[in-house]
C-alpha cells in the first residue's frame, strides 16, 4: 500500500467520524430512552385504530369469540360487502349517499379555496383600513365551535330557504376561519417584489392573484383542502338535512352503526370507511401541510 | 374640557377622512375580500350577535321573541342545577385536558423532531391520526364495556383487582375520567401539526451558538432557544386547545349517552344542545352560548398574556 493511499484512508475515516458525530447536547442514554418511550406511546395511540381495523376484518365467529382476540385470525372483507348489502336494501342507494358527501365536500372545499384565498391575498399583501381588524375577528372566530353558533345559523339558513338543501352545509363552509388564517399567514411569506414585478409588466390585480400568487402557494392549498375535507367529510349535518336522499354518507353509515349487536362487524367497517379518507389525504400531502403549518404562528 | 372635546372630534373627523380616502383608493382590496367577508359575517359574526340579542328574550321559534331582560341568566345561575353540573364538568375537562393536551402536543412534537426524517413523518401520521379519524372514538366503548366481556374489566378481574365488572359509562364516578382519556387521545390535532412544523423551522445555528455559550443539555436548549422561537406557534396551539377543550360534547354524548346518568357527563355544550335542539328554548340556549363564548375569550386572553413570558 502506498503512502498516499494510506493518507487518503485516514482522511476518509476522519471525515466519517465528523459526519457521524452526534448532535451537541444529546446523551446516548437519553436517545435510547426517547426511542423506547416514543415507540410505547405510538403503540398506545395507534391501538384503538388498529383495533377498529381488525374488528372490521373479523368474520362473524371471531367477533363474538370468548375470550376475544384483538387481531383478526382469518381476515375477510365480508363486513364491507355486508355493509353494501345493507345499504342496498334502503330505498336510497349507496351511490346516492356517496354522491351527496362527495358533492358537498368537493364544492365546499373548492369554494373555500377560491373565496378564502382571495380574501387572504389582499389581507396579506395590501394595507387598507379595516383589514387588520377583520383579520383579528377571524382569529377570534377560529374558537367558535359548531354548537355555539348553531341556533342563529339555523335561523339564518332558514331565512335564505336553504334548510334541507346542500347549500346549508356548502355555503357556510366557504368562510371557514381556519382556511383564511392559514392562507394569509402563508402568503405573507411570498416576496412582495414578485407582485410588484408582475404589476410593472402590466398585469392587473386578478392576473396577479390567479397567475402569480395562487401557483406559488400550492402547499397552502393542500393544507386548506385537508382541513376542509376533514370537516365536511365528517359532517353529519343532521340539523340541516332531513330528507333521506340528501343525507351524507357519514350520517347514513352511523344509522347502520347504531343498529345494535347484530351490526357489530358492519359498525366497525363503517368506522374504517369514515376514517380512511382524511387519513389517506393526510398521508399523501404531509410534507406540504407541514410546510404551511410552519407559518401558522399567531403574532400579536 | 370643551376645547379638548372639540379637538378630539376634529381629530376623529380628520382620521375618518384619511381612512375614507385610503379606502377609496383600495377599492380593489375590498372587492377581493367581499365574498369572504359577506359569508363570514353572515355565518360567523351575525350568529354571535343574534345569539347575544336572543339571550335576553324568551324565544321558542313558533312565537316571536319576547324581551325578558336578564331572566335567562338569572335562572341559569340560580335555578338550573344541571347547568352548574355542566359548568363544573366543562371546567374539569378544560382544566385537565386543555393544558395536558397542549403540553402533550408540544412534548411529542419536540421529541419527534429529534428523529431522523422518514421516521419522523411516520410518527407524525401515527400521532395525528386519532384526531382526524372521524368517530373512531366510539371504539373505546368496546374497551370499557360494562360487562365481563369488556377488555378493561376482564383485565382487571384477571388481575384480581376487582371481583365484579364495573359499569364504566353508567357509574358517574368513572364517566368523566374515561372521557378525559379519550379526549386526550384525540388532542394531538392542528396545534400539534403547527408545533411539528414550527420546530423544523427553528434556525440550526442558534443551537450551535447556544452550545458555545454553555448550554449543557436538551432541557436547557428547550427553554432558552426552542421555546422563545416557537412563541407564535404556541399562541396558535393555545387557541386550538381552548376551542377543543371547551367545545367537548360529541365524545361525552357518544360514550356516556344523552342524557347521561345523573347528568354526570353533561357539559355546557350538551346543555346548549339539549335546550336548543330538544326543547327549542332558543332564548335560554342563546344565554348558554353567550356564557360559553365569554369564557372562551377570557381564557384566551389569560393564556396569551401568560405565553408572553415564556423563555424570559
Residues 6+ apart with CB under 8 A from A123: A131, A134, A135, A180, A184, B33
Using CA atoms of B195, B199, B202, B204 in order, give the dihedral in degrees to the nearest 10: 180
Helix ranges restricted to H, chain A = 3-20, 28-57, 60-63, 78-89, 94-125, 131-141, 150-159, 167-174, 177-187, 192-200, 205-207, 214-216, 218-233, 249-257, 264-284, 286-293
Tell me whether A143 touches chain B (CB under 8 Å): yes
Are residues B36 and B88 located together in one domain of the fold?
A: no
Enumerate domains of chain A plus CATH numbers. 3-76 (no CATH), 85-293 (1.10.3720.10)
Are residues B230 and B170 located together in one domain of the fold?
A: yes
pLDDT confidence band for B228 (50 / 70 / 90) = confident
Domain contains B110: yes
Tell me whether A296 touches chain B (CB under 8 Å): yes
CATH number for the domain that contains residue B191: 1.10.3720.10
Cβ separation A25–B142 shorter than 8 A: no
Residue A134 in contact with residue B33, Cβ under 8 Å?
A: yes
**Structural domain count of chain B:** 2
Of the candidates B55, B8, B29, B243, the one whose C-alpha atom is nearest the C-alpha of residue A141 is B243
Domain contains B75: no
Looking at residue B164, what DSSP letter applies?
Answer: S
DSSP secondary structure letters along A248-259: -HHHHHHHHHTT
Cβ separation B50–A155 shorter than 8 A: yes
d(CA A264, CA A94): 19
Are residues B193 and B147 located together in one domain of the fold?
A: yes
Domain contains B69: no
| E strand spans, B13-133 | 57-58, 66-67
Are residues B218 and B296 located together in one domain of the fold?
A: yes
Residue B37 in contact with residue A119, Cβ under 8 Å?
A: yes
**Nearest residue in A to B237, CA atom:** A297
Domain contains B175: yes
pLDDT of residue B3: 82
pTM: 0.82
Tell me whether A278 touches chain B (CB under 8 Å): yes
Tens-digit pLDDT profile for residues B244-264: 888 888 888 888 877 888 788
pLDDT of residue B312: 56
The radius of gyration of chain B from alpha carbons, rounded to an integer in Å, stands at: 25
pLDDT of residue A24: 62
Domain contains B164: yes
Are residues B8 and B148 located together in one domain of the fold?
A: no
pLDDT confidence band for A191 (50 / 70 / 90) = confident
Neighbours of B115 (CB within 10 A): 17
Are residues B44 and B177 located together in one domain of the fold?
A: no
Q: Chain A closest CA to B79's CA: distance in Å?
A: 22
pLDDT of residue A107: 93
Are residues B38 and B141 located together in one domain of the fold?
A: no
Lowest mean pLDDT among A16-25, A116-125, A247-256: A16-25
Residue B295 in contact with residue B246, Cβ under 8 Å?
A: yes
Are residues B213 and B273 located together in one domain of the fold?
A: yes
A78 exposure class (CB count in 10 Å sphere: 0-12, 13-18, 19+):
middle
Are residues B88 and B225 located together in one domain of the fold?
A: yes
Are residues B225 and B272 located together in one domain of the fold?
A: yes
Neighbours of B162 (CB within 10 A): 12
Q: How many CB pairs under 8 A join A and B?
A: 269
Are residues B251 and B149 located together in one domain of the fold?
A: yes
For residue B293, give the nearest of A148, A150, A279 by CB distance.
A148
Are residues B6 and B137 located together in one domain of the fold?
A: no
d(CA A71, CA A159): 52
Question: DSSP 3-state assignment of A264?
Answer: helix
Query: At which of B54, B72, B90 does a domain end?
Result: B54
Domain contains B73: no
Domain contains B72: no
Mean pLDDT calculated for residue range A102-122: 91
pLDDT confidence band for B56 (50 / 70 / 90) = very high
Of the candidates A199, A229, A209, A215, the one whose C-alpha atom is nearest the C-alpha of residue A119 is A209
Residues 6+ apart with CB under 8 A from B286: A151, A152, B50, B51, B52, B53, B54, B55, B59, B72
Cβ separation B112–A38 shorter than 8 A: yes
Query: Which residue range(s) make up the domain with B42?
Result: 2-54
Interface test with B, best of A39, A155, A298, A299 (most B CBs within 10 A): A298
Residue A237 in contact with residue A251, Cβ under 8 Å?
A: yes
Domain contains B226: yes
pLDDT of residue B218: 78
This model of the complex carries an ipTM of 0.81
d(CA B182, CA B203): 36
Amino acid at each position: 500500500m502506498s503512502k498516499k493511499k494510506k493518507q487518503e484512508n485516514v482522511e476518509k475515516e476522519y471525515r466519517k467520524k465528523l459526519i457521524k458525530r452526534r448532535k451537541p447536547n444529546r446523551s446516548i442514554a437519553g436517545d435510547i430512552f426517547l426511542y423506547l418511550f416514543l415507540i410505547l406511546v405510538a403503540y398506545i395511540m395507534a391501538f384503538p385504530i388498529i383495533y377498529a381495523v381488525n374488528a372490521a376484518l373479523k368474520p362473524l365467529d371471531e367477533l363474538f369469540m370468548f375470550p376475544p382476540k384483538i387481531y383478526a385470525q382469518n381476515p375477510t372483507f365480508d363486513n364491507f360487502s355486508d355493509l353494501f348489502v345493507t345499504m342496498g336494501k334502503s330505498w336510497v342507494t349507496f351511490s346516492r349517499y356517496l354522491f351527496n358527501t362527495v358533492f358537498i365536500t368537493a364544492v365546499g372545499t373548492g369554494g373555500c379555496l377560491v373565496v378564502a384565498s382571495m380574501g387572504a391575498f389582499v389581507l396579506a399583501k395590501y394595507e387598507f383600513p379595516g383589514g387588520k381588524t377583520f383579520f383579528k375577528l377571524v382569529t377570534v372566530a377560529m374558537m367558535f365551535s359548531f354548537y355555539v353558533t348553531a341556533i342563529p345559523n339555523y335561523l339564518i339558513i332558514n331565512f335564505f330557504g336553504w334548510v334541507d338543501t346542500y347549500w346549508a352545509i356548502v355555503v357556510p363552509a366557504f368562510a371557514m376561519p381556519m382556511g383564511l388564517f392559514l392562507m394569509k399567514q402563508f402568503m405573507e411569506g411570498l416576496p412582495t417584489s414578485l407582485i410588484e414585478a408582475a404589476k410593472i409588466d402590466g398585469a392587473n390585480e386578478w392576473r396577479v392573484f390567479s397567475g402569480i400568487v395562487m401557483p406559488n402557494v400550492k402547499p397552502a392549498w393542500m393544507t386548506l383542502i385537508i382541513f376542509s375535507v376533514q370537516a365536511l367529510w365528517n359532517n353529519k349535518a343532521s340539523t340541516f338535512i332531513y330528507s333521506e336522499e340528501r343525507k351524507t354518507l357519514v350520517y347514513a353509515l352511523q344509522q347502520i352503526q347504531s343498529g345494535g349487536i347484530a351490526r357489530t362487524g358492519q359498525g366497525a367497517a363503517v368506522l374504517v370507511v369514515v376514517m380512511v379518507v382524511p387519513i389517506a389525504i393526510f398521508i399523501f400531502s404531509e410534507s406540504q401541510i407541514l410546510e404551511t403549518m410552519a407559518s401558522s404562528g399567531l403574532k400579536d | 374640557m370643551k376645547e379638548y372635546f372639540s379637538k378630539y372630534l376634529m381629530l376623529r373627523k380628520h382620521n375618518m377622512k384619511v381612512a375614507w380616502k385610503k379606502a377609496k383608493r383600495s377599492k380593489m382590496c375590498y372587492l377581493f375580500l367581499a365574498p369572504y367577508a359577506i359569508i363570514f359575517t353572515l355565518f360567523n359574526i351575525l350568529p354571535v350577535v343574534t345569539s347575544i340579542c336572543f339571550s335576553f328574550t324568551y324565544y321558542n321559534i313558533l312565537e316571536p321573541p319576547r324581551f325578558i331582560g336578564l331572566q335567562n341568566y338569572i335562572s341559569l345561575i340560580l335555578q338550573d342545577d344541571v347547568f352548574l353540573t355542566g359548568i363544573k364538568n366543562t371546567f374539569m375537562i378544560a382544566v385537565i385536558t386543555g393544558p395536558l393536551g397542549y403540553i402533550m402536543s408540544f412534548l411529542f412534537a419536540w421529541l419527534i423532531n429529534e428523529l431522523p426524517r422518514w421516521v419522523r413523518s411516520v410518527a407524525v401520521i401515527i400521532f395525528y391520526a386519532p384526531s382526524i379519524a372521524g368517530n373512531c372514538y366510539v371504539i373505546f366503548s368496546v374497551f370499557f364495556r360494562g360487562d365481563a366481556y369488556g377488555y378493561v374489566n376482564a383485565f382487571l378481574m384477571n388481575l384480581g383487582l376487582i371481583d365484579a365488572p364495573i359499569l364504566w359509562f353508567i357509574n358517574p364516578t368513572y364517566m368523566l375520567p374515561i372521557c378525559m382519556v379519550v379526549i386526550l387521545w384525540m388532542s394531538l390535532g392542528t396545534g400539534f401539526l403547527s408545533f411539528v412544523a414550527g420546530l423544523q423551522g427553528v434556525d440550526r445555528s442558534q443551537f450551535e451558538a447556544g452550545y458555545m455559550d454553555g448550554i449543557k443539555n436538551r432541557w436547557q436548549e428547550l427553554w432558552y432557544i426552542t421555546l422563545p422561537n416557537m412563541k407564535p406557534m404556541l399562541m396558535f396551539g393555545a387557541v386550538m386547545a381552548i376551542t377543543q377543550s371547551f367545545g367537548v360534547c360529541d365524545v361525552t354524548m357518544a360514550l356516556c349517552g344523552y342524557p347521561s346518568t345523573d347528568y354526570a357527563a353533561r357539559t355546557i355544550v350538551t346543555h346548549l344542545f339539549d335546550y336548543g335542539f330538544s326543547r327549542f328554548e332558543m332564548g335560554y340556549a342563546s344565554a348558554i352560548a353567550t356564557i360559553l363564548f365569554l369564557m372562551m375569550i377570557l381564557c384566551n386572553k389569560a393564556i396569551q398574556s401568560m405565553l408572553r413570558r415564556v423563555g424570559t
